[in-house]
Amino acid sequence: MKWKVLVSAPYMQPILGRFQSELEEKGVELVVPPVLERLEEIDLLNLMTDIDGVICGDDRFTRKVIESSPKLKVLSKWGTGIDSLDADACAERGVVICRNPNAFSTPVAESVLGYILCFTRKLLFMDRLMHRGIWEKIPGRVLEECTLGVIGVGDSGKAVASRARALGMKVLGNDIKEMPQEFIELTDIRMVTKEQLLQEADFVSLHTDLNTTSFHLMNRERFALMRPDAYLLNLSRGPVVDEEALVEALIEERISGAALDVFEVEPPPLKSQLLKMDNVLLAPHNANSSALYWERVHRNTIDNLMAVLEKSE
């Protein structure tokens, strides 16, 4: 075998058999450790001494891990976000980082709309009451009554904005980049400051990368700007939200509720107050769920890996 490849992406592991013969024919020996959500630094330090390439998820490829991987040539990310990979350390040691831009914008956008509809139409809340034998009509709203604020109008943010507008919502946006005129005309989006967006939106949906400027983007000061009848939606990265500040805002009824697909610690600890709140909708980092889009990412992640390995010969 020419190369030894670690496969730690949890979505990739269960279907790896479909690609195993193809990879072996190309000279790849696979190493597949048990993974629940991700591998931490200590796990990787015990695995990386003779690894040439990795198909990774959100594993903690820190500088220490990169510097302890003498043969490493490529990290091929199954997905889009690469905040768990130390890009500076990789660049210094000539390790190529590959990813799948715009991989899951459609399933994420549909998940956002699903949460919004659950809140506006009170679907889950009435369902819970009915299952307890309580016949109660809860007032709802329609989407054309509501304003959606999108913080981070990149690929997934644009997908959310265009779908929300098609369903009648008013859309506000905030991004450091200027929006294409065609997109503005399509969505009638109004680009505003974060402060104005938080003050006006019924729903605030986060679609930012995780970096030094977005860490705890939603903190006590920004929750204080939101309306008491507004909802927060985070399907981006957990640390974008200060969860302690979010819990405070919910308890003090400074906002009406939240929907979270991602968390500061994944899985969240069982003692987390978020798990006990009826006005918080939770999911296990699964907004990317789609057989169609997963298949595309499987293929592209392997192709990215092999392109770098074969070029290194």
| Annotated catalytic residue within 266, 295, 299, 310 | 266
Catalytic residue among 237, 243, 254, 298: 237
* 132 among known catalytic residues: no
Q: What is the CA radius of gyration of the chain?
A: 21
DSSP state, residue 145 = G
Burial class (CB in 10 A: 0-12, 13-18, 19+), 94: exposed
Nearest alpha-carbon partner for 272 in 223, 238, 224, 237: 238
Single-letter code of the amino acid located at 150 = V
Positive or negative, the CA dihedral 257, 258, 264, 265 is: positive
> Is there a catalytic annotation at residue 266?
yes
> Phi and psi at residue 132, in whole multiples of 5°?
-95, 5
Q: Strands (DSSP E) along 202-243, which ranges? A: 203-206, 231-234
285 in catalytic set: yes
- Beta carbons of 79 and 191 less than 8 angstroms apart: no
CB atoms closer than 10 angstroms to residue 280: 19
Given the residues 38, 222, 285, 298, select the one marked as catalytic.
285
Catalytic residue ranges: 237, 266, 285
